Structure 1
Amino acid sequence: MEWLKLLVLSFQSIFTILFNPFFWLIIFLIYTQYKKVSRMEISLLGEEKATAKERVFSSFGVGILGGVLGTLLMTVLGVTVQLEDFRYILPLAIILMMINIRYLCFSYAGGIISLFSLIFGFPKVNVSSIIAIVAVLHLIESILIRIDGYRHPTPIFIRHDIYGIVGGFTLQRFWPIPFAVILVILAKLQGATNINLPDWWPLFIPKGLDVNNITLQLTVIVAALGYGDIAISSSPKEKVKKSSFRLALYSILLLILAAISCHIYIFKYIASLFAPIAHEGLIIYSQREEKKRRPIYKNPPKGITVLDVKRGSVAEKMGIKSGDIIWKVNNYVIDEKEDLLYILRQFPSFIWIEVIDEKGRSNVLEYADYLNGIGSLGAIIVPRFSDAVVSPQNNMSIIKNLFKKFIKK
């Protein structure tokens, strides 16, 4: 019952986030990033797969879920912080985001602040608690990636050194995470609620503090989690499975280092270095892995490859899926995208398409529109030649983009 009281108080405190200006700042920053994604989709596809508002709304809901899970873990573990611990981390994370969008992550800001505290003595923070919170947040992020990271992938064309023009997807999701943590106050407050909990709790508490002479108060912290990746050699859903597992492993190792650092001082340095370096290593390894493995959205010897299908399109209604190879339409052999366009320009009232799916199985799909005819499939085809190729690293720096606009003026 005592645990239940503490958890109820923790969850109730999350709703106070609606009055926190930092929370709405995070929402605005997430909106601007999704707006940029929408503009890229319009330039490449002629339309956006989802509006920035739709993306923000879905991220908001998933982010609240992540906040609840994070609150549950941090409350049970007894991760405590002092007021100074997070005074610098969120502003630093926003500054780092201006350098590169993927740096909107507490692993970088938390690691840097912790190292500064250890080396220079400023700011004075509880390193073990900060690293523990970073670990828990990334454990939550691994769950969010698994359930939401593949949503609204953006189709792109990339120039491959071996296979020429290939298709792929950029995966970009951002989540606002409000979570409750336990704030250490160096005094006894009148009217405080007494809850009897185990002697080992809290697990993460600043060294030298007497639990009997302090007050533990719930407070809400705003964090922003972001996931950015590319899927070239695997589908978006397969990609997030691997990314989620690796990030969960990273989080567990970081949490273990944080727990050890409570008792062995040198591990504060190890954990502070591990947080940003290992996180960056995961991203670099994933990118190199994509470049080395054979892409799945490449041009076949015969037929054309479907990279994606638009919502509500004829292709979606027919059951054409990403990765399918179209090799015959109305008995005409299709060798390139122009062959398909030639047939559709005649607005046939009935079409049947022979496709080969990703497992090599052949299927015949049909569709009829006797009233208007069929002038478009609504499928995004991997071209054999195209100037509309992008680099996954483009437009990652807000500062660089602003500088380029200033130079143009």
Structure 2
Amino acid sequence: MELLIYTLTQVSYAIVEPSYAFVLIMMGIVFYIKNKKTATLEKLIMGENSTSPFELTISQIVMGIFGGVLASMIFTYLGVVFHVNSNIYIVFMISILLMFFNPRFLCLSYSGAVLGVTSILLNIASKFLNNPSLNLLKVDITSLLLLIGVMHVVEGILVILDGKRGAIPVFGGRDRKIVGGFAFKRQWILPVAILMMMEATSGTFISGEAVATPQWWPIVNHGANKALFETMIIGALPLFAGVGYSSVTFTKSKTAKTLFSGALIIGFGIFVSALSIFSNYGFVVQLLLLIITPLAHEAMIAFEKYTERNDEPMYSSNEEGIRILEVAPKSLASTMGLKSGDLILEINDNKITTDEMMFSFLETIPNYIWMKIKKANGEIREISHTKVSNEGRIGIVIVPRNIPSKSRIMKTEEGNFTDVLNKLRKKEQDDEDKENKE
């Protein structure tokens, strides 16, 4: 318990200490600026915001702190400890550098592999050349793999709990039809405390106080590590770690998509943590494990893309009616009981035979609304609403059957909706032609 309290104290230190708090405040500002752009785009699409930029930012900060506390507690109980000369914080710097090559390389599975392989090669070189000064990084590969694994488990939990906030409705093309979906983009900053060890006579300083460790600790490699730590002083290094989630779905609801993605990430984290068991079988095995880690992460991404390509689109209209992609909270549509995924069959006794009928209704909402809708489970319902003449937009995003006319399209710097769908359809046609030739 004393070790756990000490770890949580160091996490708190990373939040309230002025120099650390400054980092948290700056990241909060960055998050707010991004969330403001997201909210602006959402308002253009839906007519109103589901959540304010401030609420989105506070959610990121609070969930990040929760994730940092959870990760630190798991690190502590498992016994994830690095030597004071390991310079483990470099792993986060490498992540930032790799991100410039590809945003997904921000993930620790890539930077951790780079740091771990570099550490092993320097250790081999120092022994081969009989030059101890070359061994600049003393990274424990078992702890490094556990660090990567635990951070992914926590990341998966954050995706499930907070990943769908701020999701934006988007459109694409599938089988020559317009389909609707959602784009996700969330980041969190985690204040974590990583345990560090040093020789009692080294004279090296670690912030905080030395604490006694319980007899059962550490859980990982208990026998060998327990004997090692009895001759060491254990301290903690508070720092910030960033994790993020970016994805698009046309085949799942927002909740289902984040649950699926989060479960995959958690599974990957457990897999990498399990790999750490084999890291005591020499540097060759360690190198193999460090290579497997990013490859497994790429395989996870490929699998998620594969399921997205092969599953049936969830949001598309048909001859029967017009599909609702999203419903703004606290809107007229929400009050009426409309939900994402509903199919509008009739409005005021008129069957929706053309997209133009739906657009005309959205532009001029009558005083009385009667709708026949088909729920996602196939149930047919009739709903109505009166006295809406003074209310604004109904608050829904629909998926049209056909490309809207130019008068219905809001132009942007990147082109209009017609341009986007034409490009998508051309790409699909090119893919089909390529498959036919093969």
Deviation at 1:112, TM superposition (A): 1.8
Deviation at 1:223, TM superposition (A): 0.7
The answer to whether residue 176 in structure 2 is matched with residue 159 in structure 1 is no
Greater shift after overlay, 59-68 or 273-282? 273-282
Deviations 1:249-268 (A, max 9, x none): 21111111123213443332
Counterpart Cα distance in 2 of 1:240 and 1:339: 34
Matches within 5 A, 1:135-146: 135-146=149-160
Match 1:382 to one of 376, 399, 409: 399
Gaps of 5+ in 2: 124-134, 405-415, 422-438
Match 1:180 to one of 181, 193, 196: 193
Counterpart Cα distance in 2 of 1:347 and 1:150: 30
Match 2:2 to one of 5, 8, 23: 5
Whether the 8 Å contact between 1:204 and 1:262 is mirrored in structure 2 is: no
Match 1:351 to one of 369, 379, 397: 369
Counterpart Cα distance in 1 of 2:49 and 2:373: 26
Deviations 1:211-255 (A, max 9, x none): 233210022121111111222111111122222222222111111
The residue that corresponds to 1:395 in the other structure is none
Matches within 5 A, 1:320-399: 320-369=338-387, 372-373=389-390, 376-383=393-400, 384-386=402-404, 387-388=416-417
Whether the 8 Å contact between 1:132 and 1:259 is mirrored in structure 2 is: no
The residue that corresponds to 2:14 in the other structure is 17
Match 2:99 to one of 78, 97, 105: 97
Deviations 1:154-195 (A, max 9, x none): 1100122x0421100012221111112211122258995552
The answer to whether residue 333 in structure 2 is matched with residue 315 in structure 1 is yes
Counterpart Cα distance in 2 of 1:358 and 1:120: 58
The residue that corresponds to 2:242 in the other structure is 224
TM-score, normalised with respect to structure 1? 0.85
The residue that corresponds to 2:74 in the other structure is 73
The 3-state SS of whatever aligns with 1:145 is helix
Greater shift after overlay, 110-119 or 327-336? 110-119
Q: How many residues align?
A: 386
Counterpart Cα distance in 2 of 1:297 and 1:326: 12
Counterpart Cα distance in 2 of 1:199 and 1:47: 55
After superposition, the Cα gap between the structure-2 partners of 1:359 and 1:163, relative to the gap in structure 1 and judged at 3 Å, is farther
The residue that corresponds to 2:164 in the other structure is 150
Greater shift after overlay, 299-308 or 191-200? 191-200
Match 2:110 to one of 95, 108, 111: 108
Whether the 8 Å contact between 1:350 and 1:369 is mirrored in structure 2 is: yes
Whether the 8 Å contact between 1:257 and 1:270 is mirrored in structure 2 is: no
Deviations 1:37-93 (A, max 9, x none): 445445655655444432221011111111111111111011002343323222222
Whether the 8 Å contact between 1:348 and 1:375 is mirrored in structure 2 is: no
Which structure is larger by alpha-carbon Rg, 1 or 2?
2
Cα RMSD (Å) of the superposition? 2.9
Task: Quote the sequence identity (%).
Answer: 26
After superposition, the Cα gap between the structure-2 partners of 1:266 and 1:63, relative to the gap in structure 1 and judged at 3 Å, is same
Gaps of 5+ in 1: 392-409
Letter in 2 for 1:359: N
The residue that corresponds to 1:400 in the other structure is none
The 3-state SS of whatever aligns with 1:86 is coil
Letter in 2 for 1:203: V
Whether the 8 Å contact between 1:80 and 1:202 is mirrored in structure 2 is: no
Letter in 1 for 2:387: D
Match 2:183 to one of 165, 170, 187: 170
